Amino acid sequence: MEQKAILGGGCFWCIEAIYKSIKGVNSVISGYSGGDTESPTYKDICRGDTNHAEVIEITFDSEIVNYNEILEIFWEIHDPTTLNRQGADIGTQYRSVIFYLNDEQKNIAKKSKELVQKNFSEKILTQIDKASIFYPAEEYHQNYFELNPCQGYCQVVIAPKVEKFQINYKNKLKDS
């Protein structure tokens, strides 16, 4: 059964690259959600005055990978204990957020957050909010890591995250 999830965990290029490699994930679209501005652009988001987060919209086959597993990966691939930042990326657009699409996702997200909290010494600051309009990011943001592997940010920030994920989650990868 096809389902969707909307997650923000820092720069959307980073989390897009990881979720695209997971068995059962049919598509990943980088975009913006959770803000006040209609049809925001990347420039709008970077100013930090739209309240949007950089997010990805994941379409997945729940018979292969379920929503709980999508969230288990989410907790592993970013730091949910930092407020409005991931590494050197700072601003509200980089916040950790789960946008739920229905009550079932809301309940799973809350329970997942409670369970994973014991793995962190700091408090998890991830927001769990009702999904609002998802705006796909500009075309040049889509498949960014795949299309720009030699770009500096990709080599220094994204590649190490992807490599770590591939080592720790071999059984979840499309190629396995």
**pLDDT, tens only, 90-100:** 999 999 999 99
The distance of Cα 9 from the centroid of its chain, to the nearest Å, equals 5
* Helix, coil or strand: residue 69: helix
Residue 175 lies in a domain: no
**What is the C-alpha to C-alpha distance for residues 38 and 27, in angstroms, rounded to an integer?**
24
**pLDDT tens-place string over residues 109-140:** 999 999 999 999 999 999 999 999 999 999 99
Q: Residue 151 is part of which domain span?
A: 2-169
Contact 116, 75 (CB under 8 A): yes
CATH number reported for the structural domain that contains residue 82 in this entry: 3.30.1060.10
Residue 176 lies in a domain: no
Residue 30: partners with Cβ closer than 8 Å, 6 or more residues away:
12, 13, 16, 54, 55, 56, 136, 137, 141, 142, 144
**Tokens 């950089």 found at:** 54
Across the chain, what does the average pLDDT equal?
Answer: 95
Residue 72 lies in a domain: yes
**pLDDT tens-place string over residues 58-102:** 999 999 999 999 999 999 999 999 999 998 899 999 999 999 999
**What is the C-alpha to C-alpha distance for residues 2 and 14, in angstroms, rounded to an integer?**
23
> Token pair for residue 82?
């930092």
Contact 128, 6 (CB under 8 A): no
Residues assigned a catalytic role: 11
Residue 34 lies in a domain: yes
Total structural domains within the chain = 1
**pLDDT at res. 176:** 62
- pTM > 0.85: yes
| Average pLDDT of span 150-171 | 92
Residue in 39, 52, 63 with CA at minimum distance from that of residue 6: 52
Length of the chain: 176
